[in-house]
């Protein structure tokens, strides 16, 4: 049987967490089917390139060394997307993959989907169908373009299936498989809990965790000022740990708002953390404040109260079935919600939305194996 080559594309930090589950599921599939012609090649676009944003995830999560490292780095959206496309097109023409798998909603996801679709190579999109209905978010554009072109749409929740059906995607292309980010979380949780990060940060409970990286929060002074006002109050009640994304770090380096956040005595700014350290930090947090998509999902599974610092979410299941609350971007509301959480007794409310059971990647591999006969 001729080789069946799959490209597994990743480029940014959350992508690595997702492909880790797929790499593992393919590894298990191959050991259960030693004669299978399937060969998986990891393609790293290099959208994220700092050690703490990329390589550490390969190492910690056992992701094989990429077959191709495109090294595209940062740029404007058009510039970064175009450079990924040019570099990836050359790889596809040389390698002639039979299938391309993309995950999530970053620029690399969309760029590689466009390349594959134009070269008539089937695309599977993992985490399809999520919609914030906010086209000011670059990720929403990436999701729309990727889903319209992909041949196989693997979803994390029933609302995503509804979104896709409403956009005219035939039911035969859509499958609710669960959440590969949760697969990675469940695989690593026991080890993560012994990471020792609390000792290394000299961190005492209770504490809150903060992450911020969305352009809509960090690039606009007015929005950032509201968050800052909320943080000024919250850190008086509870110690706040803030692993700072490079985009945010660049933004906070200069100017009065950066100086103001650095001056907060009970807010601890630290470098981005590796996977297990971060999960360990989340797991014991009293409260999480974030604008990340993945952290809304991880806190749901861990049962940790999460305030999402956005006006919308493409992950409503984390609100309906999980611990997430959409807090918006106004200081008064964020403070009120945070205080309500801190006033209430600390308790876990871990929930698992349908099929968030650690087997999503396995379902994807099984579905593709059946479809392509590998």
Nearer to ligand UD1, 157 or 290 (CB): 290
Cα–Cα distance for residue pair 322/363, rounded to 1 Å: 23
Inter-residue contact 181 to 298 (CB < 8 Å): yes
Neighbour-count burial of 67, counting CB atoms closer than 10 A to its CB (0-12 exposed, 13-18 middle, 19+ buried): middle
Helical segments of the chain, H only: 13-32, 55-61, 77-95, 107-118, 138-149, 158-166, 180-192, 197-200, 215-218, 221-237, 246-253, 255-262, 275-283, 294-302, 317-320, 331-343, 360-372
Q: Is 48 in the site for ligand UD1 (CB under 6 A)?
A: yes
Assess 310 for contact with ligand UD1 (CB under 6 A).
Answer: no
Decide: is 49 part of the binding site for ligand UD1 (CB under 6 A).
yes
213 in catalytic set: yes
Closest distance between ligand UD1 and the C-beta of residue 329, in Å? Answer: 17
Per-residue contact track with ligand UD1, 128 to 147, x per CB under 6 A?
A: ----------xx--------
- Separation of alpha carbons 170 and 3, rounded Å: 29
Query: What values do phi and psi take at 267, rounded to 5?
Result: -115, 125
* Choices 146-154, 160-168, 203-211, 239-247; region in contact with ligand UD1 by CB under 6 A: 239-247
- In degrees and rounded to multiples of 5, residue 329 shows phi and psi of -125, 15
Among 107, 132, 157, 290, binds ligand UD1 (CB under 6 A): 107
Which is nearer to ligand UD1, 53 or 321 (by Cβ)? 53
The DSSP secondary-structure symbol of 290 reads: E
246 binds ligand UD1 (CB under 6 A): yes
Which token pair is 77? 């959206």
Shortest Å, Cβ 309 to ligand UD1:
13
> What's the closest the beta carbon of residue 140 comes to ligand UD1, in angstroms?
10
Minimum distance from residue 51 beta carbon to ligand UD1 (Å): 8
74 part of the interface to ligand UD1, by CB under 6 A: yes
Of the CA atoms within 13 Å of residue 311, those in its CB half-sphere come to 9
Identified binder of ligand UD1 from the candidate list 63, 106, 124, 230, rule CB under 6 A:
106
Provide, rounded to whole angstroms, the least separation between the CB of residue 76 and ligand UD1: 9
Least CB distance from residue 310 to ligand UD1, whole Å?
A: 12
53 binds ligand UD1 (CB under 6 A): yes
Q: How many CB atoms lie within 10 A of CB 240?
A: 20
| Beta-carbon count within 10 A of 8 CB | 27
* Residue 179 C-alpha from the chain's centroid: 11
User: Which residue in the list 125, 152, 213, 245 is annotated as catalytic?
Assistant: 213
Work out whether 258 is an interface residue with ligand UD1 (CB under 6 A): no
Strand pairing report for 99-103 and 152-155: unpaired
* Cβ nearer to ligand UD1, comparing 48 with 315: 48
Q: Name the segment binding ligand UD1 (CB under 6 A); options: 64-72, 100-108, 155-163, 331-339.
A: 100-108
Q: Which active-site residues does the annotation give?
A: 213
What residues line the site for ligand UD1 (CB under 6 A)? 12-14, 47-50, 53, 74, 105-107, 138-139, 213, 245-247, 250
């Amino acid at each position: 049987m001729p080789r069946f080559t799959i490209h597994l594309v990743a480029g940014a930090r959350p992508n690595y967490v997702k492909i880790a589950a797929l790499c593992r599921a393919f590894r298990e599939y191959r050991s259960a089917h030693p004669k299978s012609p399937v060969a998986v090649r990891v393609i790293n676009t290099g959208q994220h390139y700092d050690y703490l944003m990329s390589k550490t995830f390969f190492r910690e999560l056992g992701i094989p060394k990429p077959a191709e490292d495109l090294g595209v780095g940062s740029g404007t959206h058009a510039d970064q997307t175009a450079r990924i496309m040019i570099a990836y097109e050359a790889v596809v023409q040389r390698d002639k993959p039979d299938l391309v798998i993309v995950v999530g909603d970053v620029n690399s996801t969309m760029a590689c989907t466009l390349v594959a679709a134009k070269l008539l190579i089937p695309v599977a999109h993992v985490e399809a169908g999520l919609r914030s209905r906010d086209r000011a978010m670059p990720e929403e554009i990436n999701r729309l373009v990727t889903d319209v072109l992909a041949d196989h749409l693997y979803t994390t929740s029933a609302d995503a299936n509804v979104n896709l059906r409403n956009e005219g995607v035939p039911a035969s292309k859509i499958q609710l498989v669960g959440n590969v980010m949760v697969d990675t979380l469940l695989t690593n949780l026991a080890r993560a809990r012994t990471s020792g990060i609390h000792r290394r940060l000299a961190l005492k409970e209770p504490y809150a965790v903060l992450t911020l990286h969305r352009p809509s929060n960090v690039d606009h002074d007015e929005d950032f000022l509201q968050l800052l006002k909320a943080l000024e109050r919250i850190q008086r009640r509870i110690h706040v740990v803030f692993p700072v994304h490079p985009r945010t770090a660049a933004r906070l380096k200069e100017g009065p708002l950066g100086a103001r956040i650095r001056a907060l005595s009970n807010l601890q700014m630290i470098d981005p953390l590796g996977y297990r350290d971060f999960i360990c930090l989340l797991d014991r947090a009293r409260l999480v404040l974030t604008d990340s998509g993945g952290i809304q999902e991880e806190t749901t599974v861990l049962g940790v109260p999460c305030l999402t610092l956005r006006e919308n979410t493409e992950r409503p299941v984390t609100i309906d079935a999980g611990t997430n609350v959409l807090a918006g971007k106004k200081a008064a509301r964020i403070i009120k919600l945070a205080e309500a959480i801190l006033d209430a007794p600390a308790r876990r409310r871990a929930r698992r939305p349908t099929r968030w059971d650690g087997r999503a990647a396995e379902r994807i591999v099984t579905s593709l194996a059946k479809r392509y006969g590998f």
